[in-house]
Amino acid sequence: MTAYIYRDHASPGEIDDVDPALVDLHRRQDTLKHSEDLSASARVQLCDQMSGILEETHSDAEREMAADILLVLMRQAQRDLKMALADRMSVIETIPLRLVLRFVHDDIEVAEPVLRHSKVLNDLDLMYIIQSFGPSHWQSIAARSDLNETIIDTLGEKRDIPTLHVLAENDKITIPPLTMSILTDMALTDEGFSRPLLARADLPEDAVRKLYLYVGQELKKQIEERFNKEFLDIIDDVDDVVSEFSVMSEKRFLPTPTMLRAADAFAQQGKLTVHLMVETAKRGQISSFVAQFSKFINYAVGDVVDMLEQPGGRAFARMARNAGFERHDFLSIYMMTRQGQKSAGATAASDVDEALGWFDRAEM
C-alpha cells in the first residue's frame, strides 16, 4: 500500500485500495510547501485530520502509512504547526514510536508535549532520552505523571536545579528516598525548594524535622499548621538536642518542657534506667540528664539543679549511690557538671576527693 501512496502516477484503481483519508492527506502534502500561507483554520483542519487517522484506524499497516506521510509533513512544516501536531499526537496512544521520536529530536518547544504526556514512550525510551539530551528534555520528563523510581532517581542525580524544581512540584509522583534526600539538602539553602517540598504528601518526617531547623519563620508556621501537636513535639525534641550540644547558657542545667516530656515517656515505657541516664550525661546532655534524674528519684527539677551545683557534691553523691550509680559513673557526671558551671573554673583535686568520699560513705 505504501508504494501506492508515493507513486507519482498511481492509477485510480490503486489509489482506491487505500483508506480515502490517507489518500486525501497524501494529496495535501503539497500545501505545506507554502505553509506560511496556511490560515489558522487550515492548520487546525490538518491537525484534526492527522490525529483522526491515527486514532480511528485499527490497522498497523495503515498507521505506519500515516506515520510515513506525517514524517514528510513534519519536514515541510513550520514550527508552530509542528508544535500543534506535537500537542495532538502527545495524547494518542496508538501512534508509532518512530513518529514520537521525530518530535523528541526536534526543538524543545516541539518535543515538550510528547516528553511530558506521551504514553508511547516507555521507561527504556525515557532513559535513552535522559542520557542523550540536555536539561530542557529532563525538565519536560520530570513533569510526567507516570515516572517510576529509577527514572526519578536518574533525573535527581543530574542535580540540575530547574529539573529538581519540577520534580519537587510534581504532585503526581512519589519521590524515592535518594532524590528526596537531594531535594531536602537543596532546600536547606534555597527556600524555593522548601515550599513545594513542604506541600508534598510523601515528604517523610525526618525531612520535615531537618527542614524545620533551617527554614524561616513563615515556613515554620506552615509546618506547625500542617502537622499535629504530637509531631511538633518531636520537632521540639530535635531542637532541644541540637541546642543542648551547641548552646552554653547560664541555665544549662535547667531542662526544657520537651526534655521533661521525654523523661516521662521513658519512665512510662520502662526505659528510664541508670544506664540511660549515664549515657545521656556522658554525651554532654546535662539538661536532659537532670530531667531524667529528677523523674527517676522523684525530686523537683530545681532541687536536682541545686544538688548538682552544690560544692563538694554531698547531696548528689548520696542520691546517685542510692539510685544505683557505679563509682566511676558518678565521678564522670560530677566532673561534667563542674565543667558546665562557668564560674567554677578548673575542678580542684580536693573537690573530686571530697565528692568521692561522700559517694563511698553513702548508704545504699
Residue 25's pLDDT is 55
In the structure grid, which three cell numbers stand for residue 267, read together?
A: 519512665
> What does the pLDDT average to over 185-199?
81
Phi-psi region of 19 (alpha: psi -120 to 50; beta: other; left: phi over 0): beta
Tell the burial category of 183 from Cβ atoms under 10 Å away from its Cβ (0-12, 13-18, 19+): buried
Distance CA 240, CA 290 (A): 14
Per-residue cell: 56? 480511528
Residue 82 binned pLDDT confidence (cut-offs 50, 70, 90): confident
Helices (H), 213-250: 217-226, 229-246
Tens-place pLDDT, residues 199-233: 888 888 778 777 766 666 666 666 666 665 455 55
- Residue 111: pLDDT band (50, 70, 90) is very high
In this prediction, residues 341-348 reach a mean pLDDT of 48
Q: How far apart are CA 86 and CA 105, in angstroms?
A: 12
Indicate if the pLDDT at residue 249 is higher than 50.
Answer: no
Contacts of 273 by beta carbon, 8 Å cutoff, 6+ apart:
none
Closest CA to 142 of 129, 87, 132: 129
Residue 256: how many other CB atoms lie within 10 Å: 17
As a whole number, mean pLDDT of residues 277-297 equals 86
Residue whose grid cell is 525538565: 139
Dihedrals phi, psi of 254, to nearest 5 degrees: -80, 115
Instruction: Decide if pLDDT at 299 tops 50.
Output: yes
pLDDT of residue 239: 57
pLDDT of 153 above 60: yes
For the ranges 27-36, 124-133, 339-348, the maximum mean pLDDT occurs at 124-133
Q: Which range is most confident: 72-86, 119-133, 239-253, 321-335?
A: 119-133
- pLDDT-based confidence at 16, cuts 50/70/90? very low
Length of the chain: 364
Confidence of residue 62 (pLDDT cuts 50, 70, 90): low
pLDDT-derived band at 248 (thresholds 50, 70, 90) equals very low
| pLDDT at position 150 over 80 | yes
- C-alpha closest to that of 331 among 357, 297, 311, 306: 357
For residue 23, the one-letter residue type is V
Residue 48 has a pLDDT of 65
Distance CA 287, CA 304 (A): 11
pLDDT of residue 195: 83
Domain segments of the chain as ranges? 1-103, 269-361
